[in-house]
Structure 1
Amino acid sequence: MNRQETKCISLDELSLKGSYWPSSKESLANVLIVHGLGEHHRRYEHVALAFTEQGFNVYAYDQRGHGISDGKRGHSPTQEHLHDDLEKNIKQITERSDKPLFVYGHSFGGNVVTSYMLKNGTANIKGAIISAPWFRLAFEPPKIEVALGRMMNHIWPAFTQSNQLDPGDLTNDAAVNDAYKNDPLVHDKISASLFVNAYAAGYWCIDNASKLKISSLMIHGQDDPLIDVHGSEDFIKNAGDNVSLKVWSETKHEPHNDLKKDEVISYISSWISSNL
């Protein structure tokens, strides 16, 4: 394994740390992975290594407030800060390589990637993989909680509390769920501003899906107890023919980590190869 450490500095001077896995054969494409809420990029190492076997250079970074990157755990002042962080990483890759770039965002990362593309365009992105994207939660929070979140966003946006995630909701693989539970780089924090902004951005993405013009693959587990699979289906209804959806049966929130992970990763690899 030939992993190299990466770093870029955000517009507000946070150090965003990540990794680069070079292709094990002739390079065909670059893939940038954007992780979900509370986790970190090294949980995607097996995905990255599988991609390198297909001729893809793989990059990933810890979002602000996550993993080994700077920032208060689970906090981002605005959605635009997350977009700027993503753009910084995209720019760093495109300055290094002229190979086509595919951006792969999971869950909260799928929310960030999709809202970025719909608002900022896709000039430097060849295609996107959007995994179990946070468009709509599988459980609708009580209206009072949403109202309190909005109030706290005005009063104390950096206020954090537990996201109450149950590791058992991630996959059907107990070993994966236990590893998540015991991972020192995983946290359960979410700030008022991050919740309010991501919650609103998810619904906005569905309403504006027709603006996504590049080839995009959306994947989702049929049994996802965290993110509503019907939100992905509604996005597809509003999007053009350039966006496709693959739903995996007997799969929870993390298709790339669940019992069908090898099949899922192979499917994504084949999709990238067919869209070079």
Structure 2
Amino acid sequence: MADTRAHILAGTRGPVAVREWQRHAPRYCALLVHGYGEHSGRYEGVAAVLTGHGAAVFAPDHAGHGKSAGERVLIEDFEDVVTDVHTVAELARSVHPGVPLVMVGHSMGGLVAARFAQRYGAELAALVLSGPVIGDWPLPRRLLALDEIPDTPISPGALSRDPAVGAAYAADPLVWHGPMKRPTVEAFAATLETVSQGGDIGGLPLLWLHGDDDRLVPLAGSRSGVAGLRGERLTEHIYPGARHEVFHETNKAEVLADLVRFLDGVFEE
């Protein structure tokens, strides 16, 4: 495994913790953007594959997540999270000037990454979205219609067919296991609309990865979002039977091979 280094950056809502998996003279930098309620440390496996492929990898804990500051899972404006991720991109460029940057966003991180591409797409060489919260995601509508948001945390079994993934998630003290908070749900609804109205990403290469048994972020809703976001260069892989976290699925070797093959195609052009 690559050597790691910790950074603390000034974020929009307080200090942001960043993991760096180091690589000498990297071919590219990869910025991993994690999902709701989790943290960057859950992406060790993805980082290992990417560093082995020649990347230096950077991954923040979003505000209110992991080791970063802020009330747990409270996000009042996802534009602030996008700005924080841009600060991490600036860190990557300062460590490795002139090296191309790839962004990989999962779930809520896919929403952040999609919005990043709309705001800063010229700074990216490629965009990868895994189970992205874009398009028609019905959960915010359902929750905001209730007087009180129920305390129903994410089911670990919805993440992967591998029971060890759910068990590790349930035992992880840096994962949020409580209810969603109304301002965060409102921010989700607002940013889904912002992204849907924000235009496509033009010539930026886009890889979309999704499990067809994803019960947290259903495939059909994300497909509508990808249709609006995509430019001229979409590659998609839909995995039969896979659940929400395709990078942690029982066929993760296939998923990661598809990721590496896509990146090879980007950098060999």
Same topology, TM > 0.5: yes
Q: 1:257–1:9: structure 2 CA closer, same or farther, 3 Å change rule? A: same
Distance 1:161 1:180 in 2: 20
Matched, 1:200 2:214: no
Distance 1:20 1:140 in 2: 33
Equivalent residue runs for 1:176-195 within 5 Å: 176-189=165-178, 190-195=180-185
Equivalent residue number for residue 227 of structure 2: 237
How many pairs are equivalent? 263
Matched, 1:264 2:265: no
- TM-score normalised by length of structure 2: 0.90
Aligned residues with identical type, % of pairs: 26
Distance 1:173 1:209 in 2: 37
Equivalent residue number for residue 226 of structure 1: 216
Q: 224-233 or 201-210, which moves further after superposition? A: 201-210
Cα RMSD over matched residues? Answer: 2.2
Matched, 1:253 2:244: yes
1:44-93 Cα offsets, whole Å, 9 max, x none, are 00110111111111111111101111111001221221111111111111
Q: How far apart are 1:206 and its partner, in Å? A: 4.0
- TM-score normalised by length of structure 1: 0.87
Distance 2:224 2:127 in 1: 18
Equivalent residue number for residue 146 of structure 1: 144
Equivalent residue runs for 1:1-276 within 5 Å: 1=1, 2-12=3-13, 14-23=14-23, 27-97=26-96, 98-118=98-118, 120-135=119-134, 140=139, 143=142, 145-147=143-145, 162=151, 164-189=153-178, 190-238=180-228, 239-276=230-267
Distance 1:275 1:225 in 2: 31
Distance 1:230 1:43 in 2: 26
Letter in 2 for 1:265: L
Secondary structure at the residue paired with 1:71? coil
Q: How far apart are 1:138 and its partner, in Å? A: 6.2
Q: 1:116–1:6: structure 2 CA closer, same or farther, 3 Å change rule? A: same
